[in-house]
Amino acid sequence: MVDTGSYNAMSVKEIEQAIVLIDNYITSLIQQINNVDDYSHIKKSKQSELISQGKNILLNEQIKEQRELLQDYKRILDRIEHRVFSYLSNKEKQLFLKEYNTNVFDKYQQQVDTRLISIAPDAMEQLRESYKRVDENNAEAWSQAAVSCRRVLKTLADIVYPSVVGKIKCNDGNERVLDDANFKNRLWEYVSQKISGTKTGELLLVQLNDLGNRIDRLYDLSSKGTHDKINKNEIYQCIIQTYLTVGDILFLYDK
């Protein structure tokens, strides 16, 4: 019985066969009731009528039990059908999204890798080093992968905005140190200058904030990697954010 919490070990084919057999059995029971009624009608006696009533009660109880069993089997098939349909639908969606995402990211990766090799080949090698390190299952390797991500950002900063001595009045009016060590400040200033010089308005300002937040997050993660142990999820996030941030900066550089 489906609703009692017990299990049915029958296969789908066996359940389908059982449904046919039960259906045929119910038909035969109904036919027996008709035969009993015919017999009672022919005999036309009180005794035969009582016998017919008793047989009919037993037959009707059997029919009721068989119909309940039949409904149980049908509910099992309905549940199997629903679960199989849900499973296949989810798998179809996953395959579609996987194929779609793969196409999108493959194209994006090709563009970023091509520009990196052309503009900052050292940064490309540093990214590859972080990829190798993340596959090693120890915290020290993951920490080194985070360090590689930091080096990628510094290498890119040295190209797009070389270091300067002393405090510099930045695009937002604030003074900042833009020397060799403060590569994050240099990236901030470079991105700020590039975006403020465009005509795309608020959309690019939002992009600037998003890019800046990601650079901050990358810097924090990378710094943590040089001092503390970091888990694999953190380093994956660090590498992905590094790659996306590099792509955004290269896009601005090309413009």
> Averaged over 39-64, what is the pLDDT?
68
Candidates 164, 183, 166; CA nearest to 175 is 166
Say yes or no to pLDDT of 211 above 80.
no
Q: What are the backbone angles phi and psi of residue 169, rounded to the nearest 5°?
A: -75, 115
Tokens of 16: 């389908």
Is the dihedral angle over the CA atoms 118, 119, 122, 127 positive or is it negative? negative
> Averaged over 176-202, what is the pLDDT?
77
Q: Does 225 or 239 have the greater pLDDT score?
A: 239
Give the whole-angstrom CA distance, residue 75 versus residue 81: 10
Rounded to 10 degrees, what is the CA torsion of 239, 245, 249, 250?
50
Q: What is the mean pLDDT of the chain?
A: 78
pLDDT band at 206 (very low <50, low <70, confident <90, very high): low
Q: Which of 27-41, 68-82, 96-110, 199-213 has the highest mean pLDDT?
A: 68-82
Is the dihedral angle over the CA atoms 120, 167, 204, 210 positive or is it negative? positive
pTM of the model: 0.54
pLDDT in tens, 82-96: 888 888 888 777 776
Cβ atoms of residues 128 and 120 within 8 Å:
no
Tokens of 243: 């790659």
> Averaged over 159-177, what is the pLDDT?
89
pLDDT band at 1 (very low <50, low <70, confident <90, very high): very low
